């Protein structure tokens, strides 16, 4: 039966495919794709783990003291029976062969299918077998974990898979449905096969949503109980424009969305023609459209859509999911240098690590402080770990010898933080000089993303060459709304007069002092905000490459001079959203 689930739209477009539920099981396992040629080995790995569990259970059975309750023996019998059940084993192998899931993922996928069937049963005895199955699967997973290969980034969809597969189900697009995904998980899925994403939790500018947006595929977050209502392999439609997921659509609905999907593709084709068109407004204002990236390889997408530089490289993604083993100076230098060179002489803005809040270093050890968003995050963390920070600064300064590097510092609020940062930067340079290492000049910038920073612009402009407004956090901290919390997402208002006032003042003060001001939060990539930001005087926008052409289209249609009077009226209004709607 068709039903729909509403959430928050994150990335535009329509995806139609089969649902892949990830990590909704209570067992915490790695999810990754294997290569077709690895299918046999993966099935063998699963077989070895299963046999080991069978041995273990049989040993337990034979060693069981005589006075043990008979229920225990019966339970072991049930577990052994489940383990040796051919049809269960066949279905688990199917996930590996047909979907190229790793063995652990195949196990939890089948577990979910069977658990649903058990839950629908009338018979109490059979319903209770659910717990047995969960325990057995957990045992096998624990065995696999012991022998498992480390989780690699999921490989891209192999080109010639049919020869090796039982059928052609891989031709069906897959849509990922999860309760939550960390930004690092999301990044792992970046080069994978998924055609769309839905998560139960999250807000529009949570970092998971940001990474989803960078993948340029339809995504919906904050869809509450999606991962419980959708079943493994259900047909689903994701409408990333409306923030809706439709489950088990009827043929009429499918046809309608198929049409919308094709229209979207045509629109993309049309926008692609703007790639080499300079971003200039009707009244001749040159606008800089820059890219936000998470990994050095993302420069390719940035260049492909005609970005004139990178306005934000979120370096923290190099540090995440490494179980505390942070990248050393050489590894970081290689990454930053690759990013710099990937832009072929255009500016590369490297932001120092912004770890903390919804971007923990290690997903498995999330930040347990009471208010992580208000805690040891970004520059605060860097200053508390000076050796780590110096390593990063040295790597960035060395990469600056290979191109135009702008160094950007996140979350500054205090004069003392600015002073300490500048001192550490001097020290990093001195350390490089002492060992005769080559390094380059950098322009130094500060993120304006805490209201306290936006209220002391003169201090910031005295010390920095440029400013970059992080609207994602500026909105979060101005309005006291957790950007990752879907329950208050309706109050996360980028058009709140207080937010607009801080943005407008930052742009105006920068212009007065002849310093460049950019916006690199999600607002810069929202085509509905382009005219307002132009009207407020913004000339530099940084966003995910997937948004650049749409924003460029808005720029080409705008008259910045005429927009400034209107923008002033919006700024003076108590309810700017109304003015914007009736513009
Ligand atoms: C911001 O806060 O707007 C920003 C660009 O930084 P991040 O989203 O990484 O916090
Ligand atoms: Mg920020």
In degrees and rounded to multiples of 5, residue 127 shows phi and psi of: -60, -35
User: In angstroms, what is the span from residue 567 Cα to ligand 1's centroid?
Assistant: 24
160 has a pLDDT exceeding 60: no
Nearest bound ligand to the CA of residue 210: 1
Using alpha carbons, select from 39, 147, 18, 53 the residue that is nearest to residue 94.
39
CB 33 within 8 A of CB 155: yes
Question: Does 556 score more than 80 pLDDT?
Answer: yes
Q: Cβ neighbours of residue 493 under 8 Å, at least 6 residues apart? A: 475, 479, 499, 577
The 10 Å CB-count burial string (b at 16+, else e) for 199-231 is: bbbbbbbbbbbbbbbbbbbbbbbbbeebbeebe
Residue 228 corresponds to which tokens in the numbers above? 């419980």
Using the mean position of ligand 2's atoms as its centre, give its distance from the Cα of residue 448 in Å.
9
- Reduced to 3 states, what is the DSSP secondary structure of residue 479? helix
For residue 473, give the ligand 1 atom closest to its CA. Answer: 2
Q: Is the pLDDT higher at 142 or at 167?
A: 142
Average pLDDT, the chain: 88
| Sign of the dihedral through C-alpha 277, 297, 484, 448 | negative
Mean pLDDT calculated for residue range 544-554: 96
CB of 428 closer than 8 Å to CB of 449: no
pLDDT tens for each residue of 493-541 = 999 999 999 999 999 999 999 999 999 999 999 999 999 999 999 999 9
pLDDT of residue 31: 78
For residue 329, the cross-strand partners are: none
The closest-lying atom of ligand 1 relative to the alpha carbon of residue 522 is 3
Return the residue whose CA atom lies nearest to atom 3 of ligand 1: 470
Structure tokens at 178: 């999860």
Count the alpha carbons within 13 Å of 412 in the hemisphere toward its beta carbon: 32
Take atom 4 of ligand 1 and give the residue whose Cα is closest.
470
Residue 210 CA: which ligand 1 atom is closest? 8
pLDDT at 330 exceeding the cut of 80 = yes
- The C-alpha atoms of residue 140 and residue 92 are separated, in whole angstroms, by 12
Q: What is the mean pLDDT of residues 253-260?
A: 93
Which bound ligand lies closest to the C-alpha atom of 474? 1
Q: Is the pLDDT of residue 170 over 60?
A: no
CA 62-65-70 angle, to 5 degrees, is 85
**Residue whose CA is closest, atom 6 of ligand 1?**
470
Scanning the structure block, which residue is given the tokens 């930053």?
336
pLDDT over 90 percentage in the chain:
61
Please state, in angstroms and rounded to a whole number, the distance separating the CA atoms of residues 43 and 456: 61
Q: CA 37, CA 39: separation in Å to the nearest integer?
A: 6
For 445, phi then psi, to 5°, come to -130, 160
Residue 559 has pLDDT above 50, yes or no: yes
CA of 518 to the centre of ligand 1 (A): 12
| Confidence at 71, pLDDT banded by 50, 70, 90 | low
What is the atom index within ligand 1 of the atom nearest the CA of 312? 5
Q: What is the pLDDT of residue 486?
A: 86
Q: Of the bound ligands, which one is closest to the alpha carbon of residue 316?
A: 1
| Contact (Cβ atoms closer than 8 angstroms) between residue 330 and residue 437 | no
Active site residue 520: yes
* Residue 196 phi, psi dihedral angles, 5° rounding: -170, 165
100 Cα to the center of ligand 1, angstroms: 35
The residue whose CA is least distant from atom 9 of ligand 1 is 314
Q: CB neighbours of 314 closer than 8 A, spacing ≥ 6? A: 292, 293, 294, 351, 354
Higher pLDDT, 437 or 214: 437
Q: Mean pLDDT throughout 200-207?
A: 83
Q: pLDDT for 34-69, tens place per residue?
A: 899 999 999 999 999 999 989 988 887 787 666 665
Exposed e or buried b for every residue in 92-118, given b needs 16+ CB within 10 A? bbbbbbbbbbbbbbbbbbbbbbbbeeb
Q: How far is the CA of 553 from the centre of ligand 1 (A)?
A: 24
**Known catalytic membership, residue 402:** no
Q: Could you give phi then psi for residue 293, rounded to 5 degrees?
A: -130, 160
pLDDT at 150: 32
Q: Which residues fall within 8 angstroms of residue 42, CB to CB, at 6 or more apart?
A: 34, 96, 102, 103
Catalytic option among 207, 402, 406, 439: 207
Task: Say how far apart CA 275 and CA 227 lie, in whole Å.
Answer: 38
Check residue 127 and give its pLDDT.
Answer: 67
Q: How confident is the model at residue 578 (pLDDT cuts 50, 70, 90)?
A: confident
Give the residue, by CA position, lying nearest to ligand 1 atom 1.
Answer: 470
Q: Tokens 């000089």 correspond to what residue?
A: 433
Pocket mutation for ligand 1, best pick of 357, 481, 521 (most atoms within 8 Å of C-beta): 521
Q: Output the CA torsion sign for 251, 255, 257, 261.
A: positive
Lowest mean pLDDT among 46-60, 120-134, 220-234, 441-455: 120-134
């Amino acid at each position: 039966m068709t039903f729909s689930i509403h959430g928050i739209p994150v990335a535009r477009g329509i995806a139609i495919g089969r649902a892949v539920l990830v990590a909704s099981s209570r067992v915490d396992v790695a999810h990754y794709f294997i290569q077709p040629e690895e299918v046999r080995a993966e099935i063998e790995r699963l077989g070895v783990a299963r046999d080991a569990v069978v041995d273990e259970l049989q040993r337990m059975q034979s060693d069981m003291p005589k006075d043990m309750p008979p229920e225990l023996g019966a339970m072991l019998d049930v577990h052994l029976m489940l383990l040796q059940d051919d049809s269960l084993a066949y279905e688990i192998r199917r996930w590996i062969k047909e979907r190229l899931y790793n063995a652990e993922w195949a196990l939890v996928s089948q577990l979910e299918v069977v658990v649903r069937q058990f839950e629908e049963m009338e018979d109490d005895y059979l319903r209770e077998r659910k717990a047995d199955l969960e325990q057995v699967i957990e045992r096998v997973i624990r065995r696999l974990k012991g022998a498992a290969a480390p989780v690699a980034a999921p490989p891209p969809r192999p080109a010639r898979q049919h020869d090796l597969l039982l059928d052609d189900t891989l031709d069906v697009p897959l849509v990922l449905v999860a309760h939550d995904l960390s930004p690092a998980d999301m990044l792992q899925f970046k080069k994978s096969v998924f055609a769309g994403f839905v998560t139960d939790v999250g807000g529009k500018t949570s970092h998971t949503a940001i990474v989803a947006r960078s993948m340029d595929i339809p995504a919906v977050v904050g869809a509450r109980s999606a991962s419980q209502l959708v079943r493994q392999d259900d047909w689903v439609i994701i409408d990333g424009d409306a923030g809706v997921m439709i489950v088990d659509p009827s043929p009429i609905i499918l046809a309608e969305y198929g049409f919308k999907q094709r229209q979207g593709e045509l629109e993309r084709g049309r926008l692609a023609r703007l790639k080499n068109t300079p971003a200039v407004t009707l009244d001749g204002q040159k606008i800089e459209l820059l890219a936000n990236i998470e990994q050095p390889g993302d420069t390719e997408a940035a260049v492909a859509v005609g970005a004139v530089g990178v306005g934000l490289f979120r370096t923290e993604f190099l540090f995440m999911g490494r179980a505390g083993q942070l990248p050393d100076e050489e590894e970081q230098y290689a990454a930053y240098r690759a990013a710099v060179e990937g832009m072929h002489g255009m500016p590369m803005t490297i932001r120092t690590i912004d770890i903390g809040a919804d971007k923990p270093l290690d997903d498995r050890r999330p930040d347990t402080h009471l208010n992580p968003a208000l805690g040891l995050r970004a520059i605060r963390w860097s200053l508390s770990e000076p050796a780590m920070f110096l390593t990063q600064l040295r790597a960035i300064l060395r990469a600056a010898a290979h191109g135009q590097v702008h160094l950007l510092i996140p979350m500054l609020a205090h004069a003392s933080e600015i002073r300490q940062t500048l001192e550490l930067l001097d020290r990093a340079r001195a350390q490089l000089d002492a060992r005769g290492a080559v390094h380059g000049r950098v322009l130094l910038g500060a993120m304006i993303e805490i209201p306290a920073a936006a209220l002391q612009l003169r201090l910031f402009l005295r010390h920095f060459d440029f400013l970059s407004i992080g609207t994602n956090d500026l909105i979060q901290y101005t309005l006291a709304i957790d950007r990752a919390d879907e329950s208050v997402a309706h109050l996360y208002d980028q058009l709140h007069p207080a937010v607009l006032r801080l943005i407008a003042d930052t742009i105006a003060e920068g212009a007065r002092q002849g310093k460049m001001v950019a916006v690199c939060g999600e607002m810069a990539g929202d085509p509905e905000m382009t005219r307002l930001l132009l009207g407020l005087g913004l000339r530099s926008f940084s966003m995910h490459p997937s948004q650049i052409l749409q924003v460029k289209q808005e720029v080409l249609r705008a008259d910045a001079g005429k927009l400034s009077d209107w923008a002033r009226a919006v700024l003076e209004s108590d309810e700017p959203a109304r003015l914007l709607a009736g513009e």
